[in-house]
Amino acid sequence: MMKALYKSGPHAGLELVERPEPATGSREVKIRVMTTGICGTDLHILAYDEAAKAMIKAPMIPGHEFYGEIVEVGAQVHDVKVGDRVSGEGHVVCGMCRNCRAGRRQMCINTVSVGVQRDGAFAEYVVIPEVNVWVHRDESITPALGAIFDPFGNAVHTALSFPLVGEDVLITGAGPIGLMAIAVARHAGARKIAITDISEQRLELARGIGADLAIDVSRTRIRDAQKDLAMVEGFDIGMEMSGHATALPEMIENMNHGGRIAMLGLPTSSIDINWGKVVTHMLTLKGIYGREMFETWYAMSAMLTSNPVLREHVASVVTDLLPASEWEAGFAAAASGHGGKVVLDWTSI
């Protein structure tokens, strides 16, 4: 048996209970979970709101951001071994649809997500396919940092969607992924980086990570703030991380001709866009979901192990590290919208 955060049925709430350890299939590995990150998806699952009802089928164990140690491998596992410290790609793909067979696994039409459609990592043990395992071979990757490789991958996928060298970048939403995108954009050669939010705590975190301008959009408009950056024209690259209905329209209004926008934030309502401006200013809008498997993972590891400053900035996004037994406080902190990433420690539960 193992301790796990369990959703016992189609209702709000989670319970910390005893559950059977998961069985390890022939091509799977069992991982002793050390740390887990709390994601926005997990907040939906806790609340069992409309988004969760569309995603999950209870009973189930959520959690898809994790770091741990392999303790068991299946009979047909050959490339990872017991004792490896690992994170995991949470999207389990079919391998046979058109996109999978063309090498575009991130676009698999039959994706099953760890902690959403199959039991996840809010537990002492989780089982995933060997192909989804990412081994950390550098000791500089701490358990807290390893737990946020999944959202860091979202930041890397978004930030590296377009060339950044010498470009002026606007990021809307200073949540954990937006904060990590600052560090990636700086590493990749951006000229000026501006980020927006309404939380002063998050904006202060953004300044510490290297944003040239952190804008409280409850008080200041982006166009007015551009003057502080001595910008003559609009932003070259936009990264929409918030999903807020007003963020994308304001971003579009402040893009340079030929500007390119990567969209990661999921809107919760319809957004009225000035499509005329999109056309006449020749803007590009690109939707982002998850990580490019596994090119993003290689880029993530290479950046973190080769650039100590980047690694320090990304690690600083973890503002709360709590024992898993205090999961309720962790979820409350994650839902507050004011701090960085919340990580739960499962080693002493």
What are the pLDDT digits (tens) for 17-70? Answer: 999 999 999 999 999 999 999 999 999 999 999 989 999 999 999 999 999 999
Residue 267 lies in a domain: yes
**Do 167 and 269 belong to one domain?**
yes
**Do 40 and 88 belong to one domain?**
yes
Residue 292 lies in a domain: no
pLDDT tens digits for range 238-267:
999 999 999 999 999 999 999 999 999 988
C-alpha to C-alpha distance for 29 and 72, rounded to whole angstroms: 6
CATH at 54: 3.90.180.10
- Determine the structural domain holding residue 213 and report its residue range: 154-287
pLDDT of 326 reads 97
41 annotated active-site? yes
Average pLDDT over residues 224-233: 89
Strand boundaries in the chain, DSSP class E: 2-6, 15-19, 28-37, 65-73, 85-88, 91-92, 112-113, 125-129, 133-135, 168-172, 192-197, 213-216, 235-240, 255-263, 284-287, 318-323, 341-345
Helix (H, G, I), strand (E, B), or coil: what is residue 324?
helix
**Do 22 and 131 belong to one domain?**
yes
| Set 24, 44, 64, 136: catalytic member | 44
**Do 175 and 137 belong to one domain?**
no
**Do 6 and 116 belong to one domain?**
yes
**Do 14 and 139 belong to one domain?**
yes
Where does residue 260 rank: exposed (0-12), middle (13-18), buried (19+ CB within 10 A)?
buried
Residue 49 lies in a domain: yes
**Do 227 and 127 belong to one domain?**
no
**Do 29 and 119 belong to one domain?**
yes
Residue 199 lies in a domain: yes
Identify whether 149 is preceded by a cis peptide bond (ω within 30 of 0).
no
C-alpha to C-alpha distance for 108 and 217, rounded to whole angstroms: 37
Residue 84 lies in a domain: yes
Where does residue 306 rank: exposed (0-12), middle (13-18), buried (19+ CB within 10 A)?
exposed
Q: Which of 287, 303, 334 is the last residue of a domain?
A: 287
Tell whether the model's pLDDT for residue 132 goes beyond 80. yes
Q: How many structural domains are present in the chain?
A: 2
* Beta strand pairing call for 2-6 and 15-19: antiparallel
Helix (H, G, I), strand (E, B), or coil: what is residue 257?
strand
**Do 161 and 142 belong to one domain?**
no
Residue 122 lies in a domain: yes
Mean pLDDT across the chain: 96
Tell whether the model's pLDDT for residue 268 goes beyond 80. no
pLDDT of 221 reads 92
Instruction: For residue 180, give Cα distances in angstroms to 156, 220, 281, 299, 315.
Output: 8, 23, 29, 14, 9
pLDDT of 267 reads 85
257 annotated active-site? no
Under the banding of pLDDT at 50, 70 and 90, the label for residue 349 is confident
pLDDT of 145 reads 97
**Do 279 and 329 belong to one domain?**
no
pLDDT of 212 reads 97
Torsion of CA 5, 328, 65, 141, to 10 degrees: -120
| Set 41, 111, 172, 196: catalytic member | 41
pLDDT of 81 reads 97
Torsion of CA 36, 41, 42, 43, to 10 degrees: 130
**Do 329 and 260 belong to one domain?**
no
Tell whether the model's pLDDT for residue 2 goes beyond 80. yes
Angle of helix 308-315 relative to helix 176-187, nearest 10 degrees?
170
Tell whether the model's pLDDT for residue 111 goes beyond 90. yes
**Do 268 and 329 belong to one domain?**
no
Residue 299 lies in a domain: no
Cβ atoms within 10 A of the Cβ of 202, count? 23
Q: Which of 272, 287, 302 is the last residue of a domain?
A: 287
CATH at 167: 3.40.50.720
* Percent helix / strand / coil, the chain, rounded to 5: 35, 25, 40
Average pLDDT over residues 263-290: 93
Report which residue type is found at 35: T
pLDDT tens digits for range 282-309:
999 999 999 999 999 999 999 999 999 9
